[in-house]
Amino acid sequence: MYNAQQAYANAAKTTETPRGREGQLLIKAATKLSKIRDNFEASSREEMNEALTYNRKLWTIFSTSVSTAENPLPVAIKNNIASLAVFIFKHQLSFMADPQISKLESLININRDIASGLFAQQNN
């Protein structure tokens, strides 16, 4: 059984597209943030910081990669991603200063919506 699972995982890695991987990472970030939202009162500051740090690192990578001249995306999309990253960074700082469940909703929804678009693009 283990060999079959390992073979499936290896095959999935070789057929995965960069957009699909980005979508998976965004879903992972959204899931981490959702766990904080769903267990807000019981979540420690450390757990919140871990989820926020993961999300910030992911968006830092996205914003850095679109800022390079080698990135083939159209300028308008690059600008949209950069603007979205700035919004996310500011929103996370706002949450850290004053933690409220409603502030997590925006971060979760953005990650899920972008992931959904990346998965749709991957399937076309």
Query: Which pLDDT tens digit goes with each residue over 8-54?
Result: 455 555 457 888 999 999 999 999 999 999 999 999 999 999 999 99
**Taking the complete model, does pTM exceed 0.85, yes or no?**
no
Containing structural domain, residue 12? 2-123
Instruction: Give the chain's domain count.
Output: 1
Identify the CATH number of the domain in which residue 38 sits. 1.20.120.340
DSSP string, the chain: -HHHHHHHHHHHHHH--HHHHHHHHHHHHHHHHHHHHHTGGG--HHHHHHHHHHHHHHHHHHHHHHTSTT--S-HHHHHHHHHHHHHHHHHHHHHHHS--HHHHHHHHHHHHHHHHHHHHHHH-
Work out the average pLDDT over 111-123: 88
